[in-house]
Amino acid sequence: MKKISACIFDLDGVIVDTAKYHFKAWRRLANELGFDFTEKENEKLKGVGRIDSLKLILKWGGVKMDEASMQTLAAKKNEWYVEDVGKMTSDEIMIGVVDFLDELQAKKIKIGLGSASKNAVPILTQLEIKHYFEVIMDGTNVTKGKPDPEVFLKGAERLKIDPSNCIVFEDASKGVDAALKGGMYAVGVGKEADLGHAHHVIPDFKDLKFDALESILSTKEGIKQ
């Protein structure tokens, strides 16, 4: 195994659990349109961009509309979402994340963010952890959504690290797919049943140590394709 020189993190569900705020805002929008959808359906929106998420929701509700109307609704949903995340505190950072980021910094491992969110910078700023990230790639500076690896490959490029020397942390199946397609080590954050195609799966960052993780990855048969 090559030496790991960088770690790239997804945002939602990895650094902070903003899924509940997305669900609340999307559900409010659906209700205004006269239908509802479930938390189970909401799971299918993980790692999916804003407009593509809206298209799925409209499909569930049997609603059709033109592109301009969708853009207007997506903007409305985002206003509600931003209003809620603007009230977040550092207590909402996922368990163990800050300790792990501190360890990476101490070991001089480069840190990047790779997220579909267009609100990554304000969220990281709100949580007072933006300073950890040397590079932030998100929905404002990439055009292709996961499972396309663009967001991670651009992140590695900006960090000046070869993709094969990077670990990507993802909570979504499509995100893991993107990391693998990019030739990176993929670590799933969540359940083995959902993320078993990653090189390794962790339930969360509690007590996670970089050296132990690197050792585990060294036993894997190279990069999965």
Q: Radius of gyration of the chain from Cα atoms? A: 17
Judged by DSSP in three states, 167 sits in strand
Active-site entry in 10, 138, 171, 177 = 10
For 136: left if phi > 0, alpha if psi spans -120 to 50, otherwise beta; the answer is beta
Distance (Å, rounded) from C-alpha 114 to C-alpha 120? 9
Q: At what angle do helices 50-61 and 67-85 cross, to 10 degrees?
A: 110
Q: For this structure, is 12 an active site residue?
A: yes
Per the residue annotation, which of 12, 138, 171, 177 is the catalytic one? Answer: 12
Active site (annotated) includes residue 17:
no
Strand, coil or helix: 137: strand
Rounded Cα distance between 221 and 199, Å, is 9
* C-alpha span between 36 and 182 (Å, rounded): 36
The answer to whether the peptide bond before residue 203 is cis (omega within 30 degrees of 0) is no
Catalytic residues: 10, 12
